[in-house]
Amino acid sequence: IDRIVLNNQCYHQRSSFITRYYCFYQHNFPLSYIVDLQMLRCFLTHFILTVLYVKTLAQSALSRAWEETFPGHVPFWEKYNTGPHGVVIRGWQFSRCASEQWTNYVVNISNIVIWPDYPRFPGPIFFNVTMDVSEELPQDKVEMDVEVRHAITNKQGSKGWQVIPCQGWNILDGCDGVGSCRYCDMLEKCHETVRAADKYVTDRKAHEFIRENKLCPPPKGHWTMTFSKVFTTQDLPKSFFGPLQSNEYWLTFTFSDGKDRKLACARLWIDMCKYHLQDKQQKCLRDPNAFKNFINEISSQVAQIRQRNNAS
């Protein structure tokens, strides 16, 4: 959601997976009759276009691709609809990757800060990433691999970490999704962000800096960059909004050039609680069989698809 603030009025526009905030505050704005009409006309036009846009996106590109490839099969990530639930991050901790001991990463990520203090989903979340770029980064392609592990307890009572498979990915090229997934177009998402920022930035020095510097990817030097995302219930598979099996998660982010060159790595430990949106106490919901049921559902759908393909 691109967010533009004019006279404390917010206008929203649906955007891609990486979501950006751009807030533009105008003080002492002349509230003339003509301006009011223009604002009203702009708002009504935006509202009509938004309604049409929502109808167009009622069936996502991923769902359409699934239906074309496997007609008649309901996507497994849409099977679980036990909401409405919300998610709150109660705690987090940045950690370096163990692979830094034997891998010469071009980018040294020294810290990641999540804010606000208790980000909630649906809702916005911000990441402040502090890093040092020691070499020129690829100009054509940068990929990001995300590995998500959740805490499990075996029969002996010892704690371990189990990888959550990617769900809701693009079945055509294997990119994007939720879970342990690969995101293939990080540079393009970066370019989209810079183009939008350049449009709404009014400070002259900031405007010149954006125009004169190539920020995608960031050049050599010390950087602190802010990434933002507004999660809605439409952004994640419905299975994500059922009860969690565990509250603890490890997220590992690895960046590469899409080939063999490793660019950066960072890890985050997250304490996450899922609750009913109507529950004022926000009691954490737990289901020890949630992950097992989800894996069984995937296996069942894969078996059905194979049988259908063999029959044809």
137 and 106 in a common domain: yes
Number of structural domains, the chain? 2
Least confident of 89-93, 110-114, 117-121, 139-143: 117-121
Predicted TM-score of the model (pTM): 0.61
Mark which of 56, 79, 94 sits at the end of a domain.
56
Q: Quick one: angle between helices 186-200 and 204-212, nearest 10? A: 150
Lookup: tokens for 196? 């939008």
243 and 258 in a common domain: yes
Question: What does pLDDT average to over the chain?
Answer: 71
Lookup: tokens for 18? 């990486």
Q: Does the structure show a pLDDT above 90 at 275?
A: no
Lookup: tokens for 16? 């891609």
75 and 50 in a common domain: no
Instruction: Specify the pLDDT at position 189.
Output: 80
Least confident of 142-156, 218-232, 278-292: 278-292
> What CA–CA distance (Å, rounded) separates 221 from 259?
24
Least confident of 129-133, 205-209, 276-280, 300-304: 300-304
Instruction: Specify the pLDDT at position 52.
Output: 39
Residue whose pair of structure tokens reads 């992950």 in the numeric block: 291
118 — pLDDT class (breaks 50, 70, 90): confident
User: CA 275 → CA 1, 84, 88, 288, distances in Å?
Assistant: 24, 9, 8, 15
Q: Does the structure show a pLDDT above 50 at 96?
A: yes
According to DSSP, residue 81 is labeled -
Instruction: Specify the pLDDT at position 13.
Output: 36
Q: What are phi and psi of 109, to 5 degrees?
A: -85, 115
Q: Does the structure show a pLDDT above 60 at 80?
A: no
Q: Does the structure show a pLDDT above 60 at 1?
A: no
56 — pLDDT class (breaks 50, 70, 90): very low
Lookup: tokens for 254? 């690895």
Span 51-74, average pLDDT: 57
Q: Does the structure show a pLDDT above 60 at 171?
A: yes
* pLDDT digits 0-9 by tens, 205-214: 877 887 777 7
290 and 219 in a common domain: yes
Nearest to residue 138, comparing CAs of 187, 78, 206, 192? 187
Can the peptide bond before residue 219 be classed as cis, meaning omega within 30 degrees of 0?
no
Span 219-223, average pLDDT: 91
Q: What are phi and psi of 170, to 5 degrees?
A: -75, 115
Span 250-259, average pLDDT: 89
CATH number at residue 259: 2.70.220.10
80 and 37 in a common domain: no
Lookup: tokens for 11? 């206008």
Q: Is 115 helix (H, G, I), strand (E, B) or coil?
A: strand
CB atoms within 10 A of CB 300: 12
Q: Is 293 helix (H, G, I), strand (E, B) or coil?
A: helix
End-to-end CA distance of the chain: 43
For 7, the domain range is: 1-56
Q: Does the structure show a pLDDT above 90 at 130?
A: yes
Mark which of 13, 37, 56 sits at the end of a domain.
56
Helix (H) or strand (E) holding 145: strand 143-153
Q: Does the structure show a pLDDT above 90 at 116?
A: no
Q: What is the dihedral of CA 34, 36, 37, 39, to 10 degrees?
A: 120
50 and 66 in a common domain: no
